Amino acid sequence: MKKTQRKEIQEKTLAELLAASRNWRQEIFNLRLQQASAQLEKPARLRTLRRDIARIETRISQLRKKAA
């Protein structure tokens, strides 16, 4: 993930982060289906998506602690 993308995560609101997380989880689901049917072209995309989701979830927890 590029530094600019990390900054974008820091600047997003909680609702935007939740939507992004939901979209990326759906994409992971679709990639796993492709992997199961041996049609996955870029297996490294799964790893990057998992890490991106972890970054988003970390930011979400930071925002929730800050709000509490």
User: Quick one: average pLDDT of 60-64?
Assistant: 95
Decide if pLDDT at 63 tops 90. Answer: yes
Within 10 A of 12 (CB to CB), how many other CB atoms are there? 17
CATH number, domain with residue 48: 1.10.287.310
Task: Tell me the whole-structure pTM to 2 decimals.
Answer: 0.86
As a whole-number percent, the residues of the chain with pLDDT over 90 amount to 84
User: Is there a contact between 49 and 31 (Cβ–Cβ < 8 Å)?
Assistant: yes
Domains contained in the chain, number? 1
Question: Which domain covers residue 38, as residue numbers?
Answer: 3-67
